[in-house]
């Protein structure tokens, strides 16, 4: 049976763990996705310039991404409650500082604090889902990640209204305090499963027979293949996320009205964000059914097709909306597939730390995004950029089937044999 629970332990409510994790993710979503609403009001107040203000966003992404392994280390040793509680407090402190920041250095300090808080919540909630849902790890990680990817939809309009009516300072203060308080109040409900409480992964997933420490994981070749694949797909996806508006402008579609007064770009952005959020649980669920590598090969190949189509036929309004939507639908799933694959490969005990180390690939990929502008400026069009993105996704799809899958199979066989030998020696 794949759902082997200890007979002497009452099964905990893991659905509650999942729901709490998703709510916490929703509470930190607008730290990233709602930031754009504050840029112009801040610039109008202090005239620092958009470029200088956006440095704060880069600092946020850096601290939110690169510190997740450290925060994961604390989670794996002391449990999720304290780390999420601290994250909630930091979120409230950061946006409260933003509300009174009258200098760029203070704005940057607040960005660093908010990044640390967001990373603490993000890494912990994803890691907790990975541990509790071994039998549906892809779906659980996808639903949790979707809370971050799509959660800002619940607060973007209210934040915009508060900024318009009461000023951006009050929006920072009120939403920061409320979001931080909700995370803090929910944190005591979180806990990691005890040995035997969580279901194990089904055989088709090829889960590890033992738990690898982070140091042990870094000694295996599979983690580096996963890392490179993550960077390849994330870099192309982040490029699309950052450049969809300039691409639409260069295609002459920014002001083209296609639906009830909405422009091509507006419709595309709405659909893109919806599809990006849906991709995470959808392909996570698919991977639970047919295996991680098979799902990766399918979706990354579809992603390659999407980039190619966007670069060749995407200059018409409907074609742009459809092809850009397909691009977003075929890259958002990395935030469920890669953490799930990592935990399958290296066990659940150190899942938060191990998945956090892999998550730094997002930060690495972000450094490649500006190269898209360099390539576009050099060639004079977006075509070369989409060709490169197509190739990157095809390489990742091929690596999933022909490199990662054999490596994980061999690693699983070796760990199973080692465990059998240890049992025989006992």
Residue 200: both structure tokens together = 């194990």
- 75 band by pLDDT with thresholds 50, 70 and 90: very high
Per-residue pLDDT band at 10 (split at 50, 70, 90): very low
Q: What is the pLDDT of residue 169?
A: 96
Asked if 177 contacts 92 with a C-beta cutoff of 8 angstroms, the reply is: yes
So what's the pLDDT on residue 420? 58
Identify which of 294, 299, 305 has the alpha carbon closest to the alpha carbon of residue 401: 294
Mean pLDDT of 231-247: 85
Q: Quick: pLDDT tens for 372-386.
A: 878 888 898 888 999
pLDDT at 418: 58
pLDDT for residue 147 is more than 80: yes
| Burial status of residue 417 (CB atoms within 10 A of its CB: 0-12, 13-18, 19 or more) | exposed
Quote the pTM value: 0.84
The pLDDT of residue 4: 40
Beta bridge partners of 262: 259
Contact 89/184 with Cβ under 8 angstroms? yes
Q: Apex CA 95: angle with CA 94 and CA 101, to 5°?
A: 90
Which pLDDT score, from 0 to 100, does residue 25 have?
95
User: Could you report the per-residue pLDDT of 406-419, keeping only the tens digit for each?
Assistant: 999 998 777 666 55
- Residue predicted with more confidence, 57 or 19: 19
201-223 residue pLDDT tens: 777 777 888 899 999 999 999 99
94-131 pLDDT tens trace: 999 999 999 999 999 999 999 999 999 999 999 999 99
**In this predicted structure, what is the pLDDT of residue 416?**
60
Q: How far apart are CA 59 and CA 64, in angstroms?
A: 8
Percent of the chain surpassing pLDDT 90 = 60
Domains of the chain: 14-189 (1.20.1250.20), 203-425 (1.20.1250.20)
- How far apart are alpha carbons 327 and 319 in whole angstroms? 12
Residue 3 pLDDT greater than 60, yes or no: no
Cα–Cα distance for residue pair 343/348, rounded to 1 Å: 6
**Secondary structure string (H, E, C) spanning 281-341:** HHHHHHHHHHCHHHHHHHHHHHHHHHHHHHHHCCCCHHHHHHHHHHHHHCCCCHHHHHHHH
Give CA–CA dist 324/245, Å, rounded. 11
Per-residue pLDDT tens for 251-295? 998 788 877 778 888 788 878 878 888 999 999 999 999 999 999
d(CA 394, CA 373): 22
Q: Which two tokens stand for residue 405?
A: 């899958």
> What does pLDDT average to over the chain?
88
* pLDDT the model gives residue 5: 40
- Percent of the chain, pLDDT > 70? 94
d(CA 176, CA 98): 9
Q: What is the mean pLDDT of residues 36-65?
A: 88
Instruction: Please report the sign of the dihedral spanned by the C-alpha atoms of residue 62, residue 365, residue 308, residue 291.
Output: negative
Question: Can you list the positions of beta strands (E) in 355-424?
Answer: none
Residue 426 pLDDT level (bands cut at 50, 70, 90)? low
């Amino acid at each position: 049976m794949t759902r082997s629970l200890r007979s002497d332990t009452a099964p905990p409510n893991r659905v509650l763990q999942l729901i709490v994790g998703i709510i916490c993710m929703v509470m930190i979503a607008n730290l990233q996705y709602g930031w754009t609403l504050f840029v112009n009001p801040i610039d109008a107040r202090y005239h620092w310039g958009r470029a200088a203000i956006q440095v704060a966003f880069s600092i946020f992404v850096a601290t939110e991404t690169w510190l997740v392994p450290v925060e994961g280390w604390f989670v794996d040793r002391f449990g999720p409650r304290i780390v999420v509680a601290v994250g909630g407090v930091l979120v409230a402190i950061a946006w409260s500082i933003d509300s009174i920041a009258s200098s760029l250095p203070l704005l940057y300090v607040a960005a660093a604090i908010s990044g640390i808080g967001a990373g603490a919540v993000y890494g912990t909630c994803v890691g907790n889902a990975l541990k509790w849902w071994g039998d549906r790890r892809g779906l659980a990680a996808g639903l949790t990640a979707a809370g971050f990817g799509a959660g800002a939809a619940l607060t973007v309009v209210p934040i915009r209204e508060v900024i318009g009516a009461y000023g951006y300072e009050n929006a920072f203060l009120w939403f920061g305090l409320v979001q931080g308080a909700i995370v803090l109040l929910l944190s005591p409900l979180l806990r990691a499963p005890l040995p035997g409480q969580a279901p194990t992964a089904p055989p088709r997933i090829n889960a590890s027979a033992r738990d690898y420490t982070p140091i042990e994981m870094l000694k295996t070749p599979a983690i580096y293949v996963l890392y490179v694949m993550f960077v390849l797909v994330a870099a192309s996806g982040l490029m699309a996320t950052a450049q969809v508006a300039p691409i639409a402008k260069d295609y002459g579609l920014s002001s083209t009205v296609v639906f009830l007064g909405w422009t091509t770009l507006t419709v595309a952005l709405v659909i893109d964000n919806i599809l990006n959020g849906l991709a995470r649980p959808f392909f996570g669920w698919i991977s639970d059914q047919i295996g991680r590598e098979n799902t990766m090969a399918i979706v990354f190949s579809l992603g390659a097709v999407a980039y190619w189509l966007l670069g060749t036929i995407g200059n018409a309004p409907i074609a742009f909306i459809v092809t850009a939507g397909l691009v977003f639908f075929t890259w958002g799933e990395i935030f469920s597939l890669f953490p799930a694959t990592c935990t399958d490969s290296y066990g659940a005990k150190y899942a938060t730390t191990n998945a956090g180390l892999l998550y730094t690939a997002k930060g690495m990929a972000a450094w490649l995004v500006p190269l898209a502008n360099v390539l576009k400026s050099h060639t004079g069009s977006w075509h070369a950029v989409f060709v490169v993105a197509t190739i990157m996704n095809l390489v990742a799809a091929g690596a999933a089937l022909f490199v990662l899958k054999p490596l994980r199979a061999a690693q699983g066989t070796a760990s199973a044999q080692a465990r059998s030998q240890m049992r025989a020696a006992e």
